[in-house]
Amino acid sequence: EYLERKIQKIVQVIENYNNNNFYMILIINNENLATYATNHTHHLSSIINKGNILIVSYKNESIPFKEVIPFLKTIEKKYMDNSLENRIDKNMILQETDRILNEFIGSPMAHITLRDLSENLKSTQKEIEPSFNLEEIAENNSEFKRSIEDIIRSIGLTIVKDTVFKETFVKENCKELRDKKIENLKDACDFLTIKKISERIHIDLLIFMGFKIYWDGLDYSKSKVVFSQQ
């Protein structure tokens, strides 16, 4: 009866409260929920069908947080997106990014990081706040990330993690690694270091190039790289 009264009250609140920023997580004992679902299908379905309401059932006082975490991440993403809209002019950022990358194509540089792009944007656009971080925004906003990646690919560039490369640079280094018959992971990473590529993306870049890594524990010097892309 207690659960019935509470859910009926929640249903009334939901039906009379129209707010996109309203979220609720209901954590209910599995046995009680099953009983209520059998006797009050209509009331329960009116809650379950709401995207901003999450019902989680538990047994033996153990709450399954694996259902709660994705729900919280959805809320977080929404607020991140709203924050982005309020903080920056997205169209201006995308246009300036396109301009900077086109200048990069004509430069002797072979790669540029998203951090470099951020600093370049801040130096040319005074209205951009000092804390602006293109990499962080891309990580937290999938739509914005896709827009950046679309620009990168549309002008013949490649992105691996946080670094934008000229495609010719990637292909030339891939060919050189293969021609040198480098099969040791440490040797491959040393080769990339000589090319002034950040250690943070060595593994990702090798995989992007088409190399398969056969790990021997965590020891780079004993691990192998084999080109697998046909």
Rounded Cα distance, 171 and 16, in Å: 60
- pLDDT for residue 117: 93
If one counts the domains in the chain, the total is 3
Residues 106 and 140 in one domain: yes
Residues 187 and 214 in one domain: yes
Rounded Cα distance, 68 and 109, in Å: 46
Residue 2 banded pLDDT, cuts 50, 70, 90: low
Predicted TM-score (pTM) of this structure: 0.64
Rounded Cα distance, 223 and 186, in Å: 8
Residues 209 and 142 in one domain: no
What percent of the chain has a predicted confidence (pLDDT) above 70? 71
Q: Which tokens hold the place of 82?
A: 């709203």
Q: Are residues 149 and 143 in contact, defined by beta-carbon separation less than 8 angstroms?
A: no
- pLDDT for residue 206: 96
18 or 220: whose pLDDT is higher?
A: 220
Rounded Cα distance, 13 and 5, in Å: 12
- pLDDT for residue 209: 95
Give the chain's radius of gyration (CA, Å): 26
Q: At residue 107, does pLDDT exceed 90?
A: yes
Give the domain range for residue 127.
Answer: 94-155
Residues 79 and 99 in one domain: no
Rounded Cα distance, 169 and 174, in Å: 9
Residue 230 banded pLDDT, cuts 50, 70, 90: very low
How many CB atoms are located within 10 Å of the residue 203 CB?
19
Tens of pLDDT, residues 38-96: 555 555 555 555 667 777 777 777 776 777 788 777 767 666 656 555 556 788 889 99
Residues 106 and 37 in one domain: no
Tens of pLDDT, residues 129-179: 787 888 888 877 778 889 999 999 999 999 999 999 999 999 999 999 999
Rounded Cα distance, 141 and 82, in Å: 10
Task: State the greatest distance between any 2 C-alpha atoms of the chain, in Å, as a whole number.
Answer: 76
Choose one of 113, 140, 155: the last residue of a domain.
Answer: 155
Tens of pLDDT, residues 202-217: 999 999 999 999 998 8
Residues 103 and 73 in one domain: no
Residues 149 and 164 in one domain: no
- pLDDT for residue 32: 65
Q: At residue 189, does pLDDT exceed 70?
A: yes
List the single range of 5-9, 47-51, 101-105, 221-225 with lowest mean pLDDT.
47-51
Q: According to the 3-state scheme, what is the secondary structure of the chain? A: CHHHHHHHHHHHHHHHCCCCCCCEEEEEEHHHHHHHHHHCHHHHHHHHCCCCEEEEEEECCECCHHHHHHHHHHHHHHHHHHHHHHHCCHHHHHHHHHHHHHHHHCCCCCEEEHHHHHHHHHHHCCCCCCCCCHHHHHHHCHHHHHHHHHHHHHCCEEEECCEEEEHHHHHHHHHHHHHCCCCEHHHHHHHHHHCCCCHHHHHHHHHHHCEEEECCCCCHHHCEEEECCC
Choose one of 62, 85, 108: the last residue of a domain.
Answer: 85
Choose one of 55, 85, 115: the last residue of a domain.
Answer: 85
